[in-house]
Structure 1
Amino acid sequence: MRNTLIKVGVTGYFVSSEQNKNGWVKGVPGQQFSMFSYDFVESILSSKALPTLMPIVPKKFIKEQLRLIDALVLAGGEDVHPKYYETEHVNQEYKDTSFERDEYEIELIRQALDIGIPILFICRGMQLLNIVQNGTLYGDIASEISTKIKHLTVENRSKAVHDVVLKEDHFVSSLIGNTINVNSIHHQSIKHLGENLEIVGKSRDGIVEVITFKDREDIIAVQWHPEMMYQESGHAKSIFNWLIDKADANQKSKGGL
């Protein structure tokens, strides 16, 4: 039984003044915003923990941000800019990227890994973890890989669209199963695996869907969106419960009440 309320940090979008120049988001034209998916709020609350939103801050404050939380979720979002994983096209213009978010989350990941809190990486988050570990990405699955699976399916965010087959006798498969059915809302994916990472699950066309660290059981990275499947999916609930149980155990091991 948990003795304290676990606080789970969640990353989100940064909407710049240029993106909101006409006031299409909220507020007045030019006003900047941090935005977070409410699916995370509901999933974390349903798992008996408290969501703590992580807006982009200067890097010197990240250490203090991390002191406020017991676990971390790196959420999905924009494409990761190719300058972080290739050199061929770094000078091209990419509209669906966020320099501010990329820079902040890369440093956030590095510091969070160092302090040893449990982390769940989702979609873009998994891709950033791979980059932090010196891996690379496919910039666009549809143009770089031959597959019949439609990995970018946005019509129904909670609908399962393809299988993921996981490595047997692994802590992740013991948690969620050897074969699961997941939603899919991405067009980038892991190409070359980063250092000290392990591939635990793939879709049937070979796209990497689950990775972990070789020597840690408090980190899971998935390519799908369990927060969007939480209401219907047992494996989505298991992932969030795992995160919060790991945070609780970590807190108790440090002498927390």
Structure 2
Amino acid sequence: MTNDRLKIGISACFFHPDGERKAAPSKTLLWIEQSTAHWVMSEGALPVMVPSFDGETFRGEVSVQDYAGWLDGLVMHGGADVWPGSYGEQPLRPEWHGDRIRDEYEIALVQAFSAAGKPVFGICRGMQLINVAHGGTLYQDIRTQKPGALVHRDAEIYDLNFHQVDILGDTRLAELLQAGRHKINSVHHQGVKDVAPGFVVEAVSPEDGVIEAIRHSGGPWVAAVQWHPEFHRPELGVIDDTPLLRDFLAAARTARNRP
């Protein structure tokens, strides 16, 4: 029945006005990727884009806590770079300035959903933001700051850029997807540097040690992967992420049924 379907929030991507338009109001667009919504829907859940709670057009009393109370879980998906100021650094290059406004919005989401006892799952930027929200840091650019690293983002082939990942034993991810070496896609130039307190590493790139999955080791259910499970198709020979999605949705169901 529709009323029994889980309602899963998806954090919005932002398209900001260019600053040249003088007429008010300036138009900011919020959007989600179709593939992420369809990934959530593939197991029967209802995706809901969570709007921002700030900006010159915001009115009323609806809050992030209202959404955290109403929805059953949260997916943080990919998009713009994280602003280095969110983890206490200055941009090394102008093009790596990221999106401070989106960072503030998503950090508030992570905090509100965790406080409400709802699970949070991160994809790509979502993993980086989760790490930063809990006190970790990032490589602003893997190729620049980690010499000898693989090409983790190839703009020409985008989601068809693949490499191997080692899922570490004695982790929840290993229980779900099996420990050992697997094939994943890779669409990122930033990555986790210092892991946030309270988090464990669940997967790494075997060739350069780049962190590919993290999980909160206690308290709120928070987990994330650096690859894009919503792009994975069996015919490409990549790992089947379905157990990962089902585990997240099971945690959302548990949170819904909790007294």
- TM tier, shorter chain? 0.7 to 0.9
Counting aligned pairs with the same residue, the percent is 28
Cα pair 1:159 1:182 within 8 Å, conserved: no
Residue in 2 that maps onto 1:126: 127
TM-score (norm 2): 0.85
- What is the distance in 2 between the residues matched to 1:69 and 1:119? 11
* Secondary structure class of the residue paired with 1:235: coil
* Secondary structure class of the residue paired with 2:224: strand
Matched, 1:219 2:244: no
Aligned length: 246
Cα pair 1:160 1:181 within 8 Å, conserved: no
Residue in 1 that maps onto 2:48: 52
- What is the distance in 1 between the residues matched to 2:79 and 2:187? 10
The 1:2/1:211 distance shift into structure 2, 3 A limit, reads: farther
Question: Cα offset for 1:3?
Answer: 8.3
Alignment of 1:15-94 (within 5 A): 15-18=15-18, 31-58=27-54, 61-87=63-89, 89=90, 93-94=94-95
Alignment of 1:104-183 (within 5 A): 104-159=105-160, 161-178=162-179, 179-183=181-185
* Secondary structure class of the residue paired with 1:247: helix
Residue in 1 that maps onto 2:59: none
Cα pair 2:15 2:30 within 8 Å, conserved: yes
Name which of structure 1's ranges 202-211 and 58-67 shifts more when overlaid on structure 2: 58-67
Task: Give unpaired runs (5+ residues) of structure 1.
Answer: 22-28
Cα pair 2:81 2:125 within 8 Å, conserved: yes
Residue in 2 that maps onto 1:236: 241
Matched, 1:13 2:16: no
Cα pair 1:9 1:69 within 8 Å, conserved: yes
Residue in 1 that maps onto 2:211: 208
- What is the distance in 1 between the residues matched to 2:153 and 2:223? 22
Question: Cα offset for 1:250?
Answer: 2.3
Task: Give unpaired runs (5+ residues) of structure 2.
Answer: 56-61
Residue in 2 that maps onto 1:186: 188
The 1:133/1:191 distance shift into structure 2, 3 A limit, reads: same
- What is the distance in 2 between the residues matched to 1:34 and 1:143? 31
Question: Cα offset for 1:92?
Answer: 7.1
The one-letter code matched in structure 2 to 1:16 is H
Residue in structure 2 matching 1:249, options 220, 245, 254: 254
- What is the distance in 1 between the residues matched to 2:19 and 2:124? 23
Quote the RMSD (CA, aligned, Å). Answer: 2.7
